[in-house]
A and B are shown apart, each in its own frame.
Chain A
């Protein structure tokens, strides 16, 4: 009996082959001898182009793109690697800025019931705003599309980190805080040696949610601001009616998102502890 993992992998591969097979068959160009349907006649000869491309075409394109991901042939023709790198850069910049504010502020809110009460109304109002709603304001104030996209990432990734940090810090077991107190640790030492490790799993959960949201939002943000990035790339290929490229970049968005999540997942494992 093969192990569960092996059987699951076999099943996964079968699903993939099945799905690709169905997709391939469904997108076969009509054979030459069958006469044109009325619809096709109306659409003219260009219908080949606007068809959803078969997986074989996407794979061929993927192979070509991935074998030279970093070519740069002008503003509208850059390799997928460069576009993804732009997006990842913006996500990380906004995300790290959010972290730099959310973690200390979360600590403050978590440790002080007064601060919690004072900040809570603002958080509750600001949090449900779609990050993209900030875009016009950001563009007007910052006057720079790149920085505006980073700002939008900052805004969308700050909330889960802030709330989880505050929650994790506020709920550190009083026993552990008492251990710090009976050993005469100062506030800073207590925060670093007791509260931070105790709250780390909750904080990391917030950071993981944030990176996921940031990666969702960057695609939409780049479609708006244009220029570079994977979101712009998708939109641009759609305007070119290059659906194979669109599908390929959708897949790449998924892969990069998964990798980002994987990194945070690993970090989460590192700080986890059993009581």
Chain B
């Protein structure tokens, strides 16, 4: 078997606990990502999701274990990995356009000014912000700022995109709109995405797989849940897919009842779960069968 695109091996993070001892936030975290996958990670607050993401980004150092991407160990930040921060992290003295230009120029220093500008504008257009090129971030709403931040990350065409609760600070309505936009951009670019979220529906809408983390301290990535819903997905219609409900129930049950006790496989890799196995195929046989069964049940 060929090596996966990204391999995380035995990652752990230890902090001093403030009383002379040590606090292991998470340990022996192992997983792999394939090229082009969209993977979300869900877990209770404080289990170490952001820390894992920051280690992948190269902004933080793990206490143990290593991360290998494309056969090379990750030692620090790099342009082949793009990050979308929860608080947008736009440079407030630059206009919307120049925030993107800044990133694009860093990625392709040899490009001409016109080419950089054209490329930047294209990505701003993808998130529907081509009308706000010359506004400063302070003149944008939270949703618009996060769009700029997403456009910035995609514009540098990184091999791996890291998103830390990108919609955490947005209201439900705006969040839905930008989720759809993210689906569209991803559909177009098919980049590998690793994203943290607290929102089960968001995870199902976007991901191919969902990692479930057990509670800290000593948190692990316990399970890897396959989302068996074909692309393209849309927020408005995904509810009609029976696989959606199966998956959702499974995730909620994990978070409510099992996140304290869940463990990965013996070898430390996440247990592979397919809660909707079979459902997707029967769904394609037609929704009528389902309603018929339901009707029978009522009759009985």
**Hey, which bits of chain A sit against chain B, CB under 8 A?**
175-176, 178-179, 181-185, 193-194, 197-198, 200, 271, 273-275
Q: Which residue of B lies closest to A173 (CB)?
A: B89
CB<8 Å pairs between A and B, sample of 29: A175-B85, A175-B87, A178-B59, A178-B77, A178-B85, A178-B89, A179-B91, A182-B77, A182-B78, A182-B79, A182-B81, A182-B83, A183-B102, A183-B106, A183-B107, A184-B77, A184-B79, A193-B102, A197-B91, A197-B93, A198-B91, A198-B93, A271-B93, A273-B93, A273-B136, A273-B138, A274-B136, A275-B92, A275-B138
Residues from chain A with Cβ under 8 Å of B156 in the complex: 183
Residues from chain B with Cβ under 8 Å of A181 in the complex: 58-59, 76-77
B6 at the interface (CB under 8 A from A): no
Query: Of residues A183, A197, A200, A273, which shows the largest number of chain B Cβ atoms within 10 Å of its Cβ?
Result: A183
Q: Which residue of B lies closest to A194 (CB)?
A: B91
B216 at the interface (CB under 8 A from A): no
Residues from chain A with Cβ under 8 Å of B79 in the complex: 182-184
Q: How far is the CA of A200 from the CA of B94 in the complex (A)?
A: 13
Closest chain A CB from B97 CB (angstroms): 15
Q: Which residue of A lies closest to B54 (CB)?
A: A178
Q: How far is the CA of A271 from the CA of B91 in the complex (A)?
A: 13
The interface residues of chain B, by DSSP majority, are classed as loop
Closest chain A CB from B165 CB (angstroms): 14
Q: How far is the CA of A184 from the CA of B59 in the complex (A)?
A: 11
Residues from chain B with Cβ under 8 Å of A198 in the complex: 91, 93
Q: Which residue of B lies closest to A178 (CB)?
A: B59
The proximity string for B residues 54-94 relative to A, scoring 1 for CB distances below 8 Å and 0 otherwise, is 00011100000000000000001111011101010101110
Closest chain B CB from A174 CB (angstroms): 9
B40 at the interface (CB under 8 A from A): no
Residues from chain A with Cβ under 8 Å of B87 in the complex: 175
Q: How far is the CA of A193 from the CA of B102 in the complex (A)?
A: 9
Which of A176, A182, A194, A274 is close to B59, meaning CB atoms less than 8 Å apart? A182
Residues from chain B with Cβ under 8 Å of A273 in the complex: 92-93, 136, 138
Residues from chain A with Cβ under 8 Å of B81 in the complex: 182
Residues from chain B with Cβ under 8 Å of A197 in the complex: 91, 93
Contact in complex: B92, A182 (CB < 8 Å): no
B8 at the interface (CB under 8 A from A): no
**Hey, which bits of chain B sit against chain A, CB under 8 A?**
57-59, 76-79, 81-83, 85, 87, 89, 91-93, 102-103, 106-107, 136-138, 156
The interface residues of chain A, by DSSP majority, are classed as helix
Closest chain A CB from B155 CB (angstroms): 11
Contact in complex: B89, A179 (CB < 8 Å): yes
Known A-B contacts A183-B102, A193-B102; A176 and B89 likewise in contact (beta carbons under 8 Å): yes
Contact in complex: A182, B91 (CB < 8 Å): no
Closest chain B CB from A172 CB (angstroms): 11
Q: Which residue of A lies closest to B153 (CB)?
A: A182
Residues from chain A with Cβ under 8 Å of B59 in the complex: 178, 181-182
Closest chain B CB from A47 CB (angstroms): 63
Closest chain A CB from B160 CB (angstroms): 11
Q: How far is the CA of A53 from the CA of B113 in the complex (A)?
A: 65
Residues from chain A with Cβ under 8 Å of B91 in the complex: 176, 179, 194, 197-198
Q: Which residue of B lies closest to A197 (CB)?
A: B93
Q: How far is the CA of A198 from the CA of B93 in the complex (A)?
A: 8
Closest chain B CB from A221 CB (angstroms): 37
Residues from chain A with Cβ under 8 Å of B85 in the complex: 175, 178
Residues from chain B with Cβ under 8 Å of A182 in the complex: 57-59, 77-79, 81-83
Closest chain A CB from B138 CB (angstroms): 4
Residues from chain A with Cβ under 8 Å of B76 in the complex: 181
Q: How far is the CA of A235 from the CA of B150 in the complex (A)?
A: 65
Across chains A and B, which 6 residue pairs bring their CB atoms closest together, nearest first?
A274-B138, A183-B106, A273-B93, A175-B89, A181-B77, A182-B77
Closest chain A CB from B78 CB (angstroms): 6
Q: How far is the CA of A179 from the CA of B149 in the complex (A)?
A: 11
Known A-B contacts A273-B136, A274-B138; A184 and B78 likewise in contact (beta carbons under 8 Å): yes
Closest chain A CB from B232 CB (angstroms): 29
Residues from chain B with Cβ under 8 Å of A179 in the complex: 89, 91
Closest chain B CB from A16 CB (angstroms): 40
Closest chain B CB from A259 CB (angstroms): 27
Given contacts A183-B102, A183-B156, A197-B93, 17 further A-B contacts (CB under 8 A): A175-B87, A175-B89, A176-B89, A176-B91, A178-B59, A178-B77, A178-B83, A179-B89, A179-B91, A181-B77, A182-B78, A182-B79, A183-B106, A184-B77, A200-B93, A273-B92, A274-B136
Residues from chain A with Cβ under 8 Å of B102 in the complex: 183, 193
Q: How far is the CA of A200 from the CA of B82 in the complex (A)?
A: 27
Residues from chain B with Cβ under 8 Å of A184 in the complex: 77-79, 106
Q: How far is the CA of A179 from the CA of B102 in the complex (A)?
A: 10
Q: How far is the CA of A194 from the CA of B102 in the complex (A)?
A: 10
Q: How far is the CA of A134 from the CA of B58 in the complex (A)?
A: 50
Q: How far is the CA of A185 from the CA of B77 in the complex (A)?
A: 10
